[in-house]
Amino acid sequence: MTKTALVTGASAGIGEETARKLQSLGYTVYGAARRTDRLQKLAGEGIRPLAMDVTDDASMTAGIETIIAETGRIDVLVNNAGYGSYGAIEDVPIDEARRQFEVNMFGLGRLVQLVLPQMRARKSGTIVNVSSMGGKLHTPLGGWYHATKFAVEGFSDALRMEVAPFGINVVVIEPGGIRTEWAGIAADHLEETARGSAYAPQITAVAKTMRSEAIAKRQSPPSVIADAIGKAVTARRPRTRYAIGFTAKPLITTRRLLSDRAFDRVIGTAMGLPRN
C-alpha cells in the first residue's frame, strides 16, 4: 500500500520542496496551506492540495479526516507551517505573541494529537517537526519567535519518548539560513515595530542584516531541508535532530561552547548592533 504524507506550510519554500521530495520517494502527498490557490503548482504535479489553517481546530480536524477517508492512513506528518515575528519583547503586542505560539507551536501540537491514534494503531509512523537553529540559540529582537522554537524542541523530546513504544519516530529539523520568504517577512514585521520604539537603533541594525544581499547569496536552498526530511522518513532509525543549512551547525556548536555573555557579543557583532 502506498504510504501517505501530510506537509503543512506547503505553499512555498521548505514545505513546497518537501512535498515534491516525498512524492519522488513514492508517497501520496497532501500539501496543506491556508490558501489553496498557492498550491496549484503542486496540484499540477500530482500533489493533493488541502486547505488547512493551523490556528483553526475545525480546519485541522477536517483535513485529517479527509486524508484518512481518502487513503486510510497518514504515515508521515511534516509540521512545517510557521513564521517569524520579530520585535523587542516590550514592543510586540501580546496578541501577536500569542498568534505566533498558535501557529508555530499549538497548531503543530494539535496535528500531532490528531494523527497519533491511527499511527499507534498501525505501530508505525514518523512525525517531523520543523524547528530552527533558533530553537537552540538566541538573537536580539527574536524573543517571542525563539520562545516558540525552544518550545517545539522540548515538546519533540518528550513526544519522542512517549511514542517510541508504538514504533513511531519523532524527528526535529533545525534549519539555518534558507533562501525563502522567511527573512523578508520577519524583517517586515520587525520594521513595523520601529516607530517610536526605544529599541529603534537595534531594530534598524537587525532589519538591515536580515535584508543583506551578501547573506542572502550564501543561504542554502530549501531543497537541502527537503533532502534531510527525505532521509529522515526513509531511515530505519533516523537521527533525532538534523541541523541543516547555512550556519546551522557552526552557530549551534558555538552556542554550546560559549558562555551566555560571550555568545551575546558574537551575535551582537554579527547583527551589527550598536555597541553599549
Angle between helix 107-122 and 143-163 (nearest 10): 10
Annotated catalytic residue: which of 11, 131, 156, 220? 131
Q: If you ran DSSP here, which 8-state letter would residue 178 be given?
A: B
| Residue 208 bears catalytic tag | no
Closest CA to 23 of 50, 4, 49: 4
Closest CA to 112 of 195, 165, 70, 54: 54
Cα 134 → chain centroid = 10
End-to-end Cα spacing for the chain: 62
Query: 243, 169 in Cβ contact below 8 A?
Result: no
Annotated catalytic residue: which of 145, 156, 220, 242? 145
| Residue 149 bears catalytic tag | yes
The per-type count for the chain, helices as H runs and strands as E runs, is: 12, 7
| Residue 145 bears catalytic tag | yes
Annotated catalytic residue: which of 149, 156, 199, 220? 149
CA distances from 51 to 31, 39, 48, 108, 124 (A): 9, 9, 10, 16, 26
List active site positions. 131, 145, 149
